[in-house]
Structure 1
Amino acid sequence: MSTQLQALPYRHVLTLPSEPAAVRLARETAEQALVEWGIGLRHPVADPALLILGELVTNSVRHAADLSPQLTVVYAAGEDCLALAVHDRHPCRPRLYGTAVGPGTGGLATVMELTLGLGGTAVVRGDADGKGKSIWVTLPL
């Protein structure tokens, strides 16, 4: 994680079983965090951030659960930035940039379309042992 993200004053970490209910729990936790951090659910970034988070957790549940019985969600924010990450222990690192956009192209295309449309960034960070990864999305506030 970059020093900039480590320096964000607000942070919450949630570990969940890699099952469909994780999507709802991750979103509900994000909603609570946004309110507690003073960002609020009416902020223009809130709805897209919740959709992005839902897609990332869904992808982890669908594609990584066999090798990763748990996933971890990291929520972080500062004065001008919101960061979300989903970590699992599946070694596959999906390609984010250049992902096709259109009907039937999947959740990562939606994630990237929303992220880039908001002026944000996304990155896949592999675990040191090569057996897992985190997908980080950072959005300006």
Structure 2
Amino acid sequence: MTPALNSLPHRHVLTLPTQPRAVRLARETAERALAEWGIGDRHPAVGPALLILSELVTNSVRHAAVASPRTTVVYAAGPDCLVLAVHDRHPHRPRLSGTHGAGEGGLATVVELTHGLGGTAVVRGDADGGGKSIWITLPL
């Protein structure tokens, strides 16, 4: 389960145009935020977390740009966890479970990395059904 964001001491929200450059900007923002929060690039969760984030933002750019001109990324951390979420306004809610990972392209890698680190991956639909967020929680 994702901890309540307001219970985590470190939080940052970034909203970007759903364009290819969003992947680089989201990753660079994550690197800066993690460093500011004292989570160095040598921490074993950082490399996989950046890959997971890049894949999620790439998926929004590839599959949601027509329906969602903006993508929002949430970064949060506490002493024992890192939370990343990517939100777009495309209504499709991908499956994150199944016999062979997520079964939807790069999401299988996201799920494999997340579970391999002992984390969780959850899709949450918007209340109006018009969008979704994919939440990743990783232990630190």
Give the TM-score taking structure 1 as reference length: 0.94
Match of 1:136 in 2: 135
**Sequence identity (%):** 78
Match of 1:77 in 2: 77
> Amino acid of the residue matched to residue 91 of structure 1?
P
> Amino acid of the residue matched to residue 117 of structure 1?
G
Match of 1:109 in 2: 108
**Uncovered stretches (5+) of structure 2, i.e. residues with no partner:** none
> Amino acid of the residue matched to residue 35 of structure 2?
V
Q: Equivalents in 2 of 1:49, 1:2: separation in Å?
A: 15
Residue 122 of structure 1 aligns to a residue whose secondary structure is strand
Match of 1:45 in 2: 45
> Amino acid of the residue matched to residue 85 of structure 2?
A
Residue 72 of structure 2 aligns to a residue whose secondary structure is strand
Q: Equivalents in 1 of 2:107, 2:99: separation in Å?
A: 7
Query: What is the RMSD computed on CA atoms of the aligned residues?
Result: 1.9
Is the 1:126–1:134 Cα contact (8 Å) retained in structure 2?
A: yes
Distance 1:85 1:105, change over 3 A: closer
> Amino acid of the residue matched to residue 91 of structure 2?
P
- State how many pairs are aligned: 140
How far does residue 4 in structure 1 lie from its aligned partner after superposition? 3.0
Q: Equivalents in 2 of 1:21, 1:114: separation in Å?
A: 24
How far does residue 116 in structure 1 lie from its aligned partner after superposition? 0.3
Q: Equivalents in 2 of 1:96, 1:3: separation in Å?
A: 19
The structure 1 segments of at least 4 consecutive aligned residues displaced by more than 6 Å after TM superposition are none
